[in-house]
Structure 1
Amino acid sequence: MSTAGMLSGMAQSVFSLANYTYTPSQLTIGALRTQEPIKRLSLKGPNAKLFSLDNVNRLSIKTGAANADKPWYDVIVEGIGAKGTVRDTFRVVKDTFIRNQVIAHRGAWKQAGTTENSLTSLQNAIKLGCMGSEFDVHMSSDSVLFVNHDHTIQGIEIEKTPAAELEKVKLSNGESLPTLAAYLSEGMQQTKTKLILEIKTSRLGKDRSLALTERVVKMVHQMKAQAWVEYIAFDYEVCKKVKALTPEAKVSYLMGDKTPEQLAADHLDGFDYHQTVVRKNEAWIQDARQRKLSTNVWTVNDKADLSWLLGQQVDYITTNEPELLLSMIQK
């Protein structure tokens, strides 16, 4: 895998942006942040003239480039740090992402008769026009990242098995068990559907969950996938770890045991709670909205439940029935 844009061995980039998207009407992309004091910041590479950095290090795209029929640009930032020249590459993406409420749970697989968490299920979610496609990430015994919901697949424990063995596994639709690298690569071929990445809680302890978190964030940065990826997790410490590593990322908590006030205090971006939690704590929807937190509810497949949540104006609904939810929204 290419490691452009990363300093070797680091869990995150030396630079980050407050945002990674632009539109023709919103030319300011975001402020450039640094992990250490950096002097003489400048833009490099073939796209340097298409962008500018102002005196407070806000990156902007020029009008002609923003209006061009191009889905993204790679821009290189360079500066002088304590150990010499450092540089980083960002992919800034024209924001054509869909704004509906539909997140396909493990992709769109049920109605299509394919395998959940497969590349085909991701492609189906994109073709349907879902806002997001949710998927789950584990780490092999030798620290390679794979996409699967359960901790086991075909009787094999992912966390206790090396990548060479996991790569031999075939899904029910004939695909190989996807790596995170393959999944991100497929998702980054388009700019319609977000990639909703769940960092699975390790069965081997907290330290391994946090190690998985570091590797996930590192890979997202390595592949320049920041514009596509949003994070979710059941482990609250994992959520906070993501924000510490990449403060600009959108991170939502899954477990359901934190109030919107607590989430806001810890600088998370929203809740992603089971529908039973939201039913019992209906006031949390408005509370979260007032705190500018996003609201997502999982996993909702019944038409009556979907209708109730649409009436509550939650931001997103994660469902195994994206076709049904899309049809309800269109009506």
Structure 2
Amino acid sequence: MTYKDFIASPARTCAVVAHRGAWHGAPENSLAAIENAIALGCEIVELDVRRSADGELFLMHDETLQRMAGIGREAESLTMAELRALTLRQDDGGESRAMTDQRIPTLRQALEVIRGRIFADLDLKDRGLFPEVAACARAMDAHASVDLKTKVHSRADAAWVRAQKIDGVPFMGMAHFTAEGLGEELDILGELSPFMCEIRFDRIETIARNREAFEKARMALWINTLDQPGSGEWTDSAALADPDAIWGRLIDAGISVIQTDQPEALKSYIKARGA
């Protein structure tokens, strides 16, 4: 089944996205974190993509290597050979985390692992890499299993996406929906027909009251419940304390894909409620 077919399936339950892989017990953005996500039964893994000094696509979130490798260098200033010589810190890194035997993977290595086993959201730290990443996914025969995304707030944004050479790779929009601006935002997104949209919103009621409009657009809704400022009240910490009030309300409003740093807890919650 392709990524787009899976997302469009009316029979599926809410999909769980492991943010930077299931990194509890493995370095984030590592092959081990991807394997953990697969073992947990997560449907999607989110991975951060950068390009090395010698042009190799690799996985790393931060601009510098300090948090994950203890090196005060910009990640993209090193060649891939230099990056591969480094080992990664456990979990989400930092000085308190021990070094592991895991190394910085290339995008090609990651695609080899995910292909046919899990879908992947590729978060490009430079959206100018769209064509290059799409070409890599096609070369690895993984193009139907990944997505590329960027913010779409204007017709100029939509035009930029249309100009990219991402043929065969599903596109996911990123939008902020408000009660007043939802119609215009959907019109702009409609120019691209994204199979899914990563959203923020003013109030949960804005999403719940417009389920028919999202269904008409054939666009699934994805939200992040990460412990980050952009999540507002909808955080993993709040969900662990009261999952019905956070994950449950989001699912009930029509959101069917949730990105989390607590994938095991969210998988258990979805299984328990049968949604």
Could you state the TM-score of these two structures normalised by the residue count of structure 2? Answer: 0.71
Whether 2:269 is the aligned partner of 1:328: answer yes
Query: 2 CA distance for matches of 1:128 and 1:239?
Result: 38
1:94-147: CA deviation from partner (whole Å, max 9, x where unpaired): x9xx8641111111113xx32111111110111111111111101112221111
C-alpha displacement of 1:178:
0.9
Distance in 2 between the 1:175 and 1:229 partners? 23
Paired AA for residue 177 in structure 1: I
The aligned amino acid for 1:200 is K
The root-mean-square deviation of aligned C-alpha atoms, in Å, is: 3.0
Label 1:244 to 1:137 Cα distance change in 2 as closer, same or farther (>3 A). same
Please, which moves more after superposition, 168-177 or 242-251? 242-251
User: Does 1:106 find its partner at 2:20?
Assistant: yes
Aligned partner letter, 2:87:
K
CA distance in 1, matches of 2:26, 2:170: 29
2:14–2:258 CA contact under 8 A, matched in 1: no
Q: What is the aligned counterpart of 1:292 among 214, 218, 230?
A: 218
Alpha-carbon spacing, 1:329–1:185, altered in 2? closer, same or farther (3 Å): same
**What residue is the counterpart of 1:310 in the other structure?**
251
Contact in 1 for aligned 2:197/2:219 (Cα 8 Å): yes
Distance 1:128 1:272, change over 3 A: same
Supply the distance in 2 between the matched residues of 1:327 and 1:239 (Cα, whole angstroms).
41
Q: Is residue 104 of structure 2 the alignment partner of residue 187 of structure 1?
A: no
Q: CA deviation at 1:213?
A: 1.6
2:130/2:166 contact within 8 Å kept: no
1:128 equivalent to 2:44? Answer no
Cα offset, 1:181, TM superposition: 0.9
Kindly indicate which of the two structures has a greater share of residues assigned to strand. 1
5 Å-filtered alignment, 1:218-237, equals 218-234=135-151, 237=157
Identity of aligned residues (%): 26
Q: Deviations over 1:245-298 (max 9, x none)?
A: 234432112353782321112333321124x55648425554322211121001
Tell me what 2:69 maps to: none
Check conservation: 1:133, 1:194, Cα contact below 8 A.
yes
Task: Name the amino acid aligned to 2:221.
Answer: T
Runs of 5+ consecutive residues of structure 1 not aligned to the other structure: 1-18, 24-94, 202-208
Match status 1:268 vs 2:194: yes
Paired residue type of 2:214 = A
Q: 1: distance between equivalents of 2:205 and 2:62?
A: 28
Q: Distance in 1 between matches of 2:159 and 2:135?
A: 15
Cα distance in 2 for residues equivalent to 1:281 and 1:115: 37
1:77-226 map, 5 Å: 100-110=14-24, 113-154=25-66, 155-172=72-89, 173-188=100-115, 191-201=116-126, 209-210=127-128, 212-226=129-143
Q: Pick closer, same or farther for the CA change 1:216–1:281 going to 2, 3 Å.
A: same
Which of the pair is proportionally richer in helix? 2
Instruction: State the TM-score, normalized to the length of structure 1.
Output: 0.60
Larger Rg: 1
- Count the aligned residue pairs: 226
How far apart, CA to CA, are the structure 1 residues paired with 2:210 and 2:263?
24
Whole-angstrom distance in 1 between the partners of 2:222 and 2:45: 13
Whether the aligned pair in 2 keeps the contact of 1:240 and 1:266 (CA below 8 Å) is: no
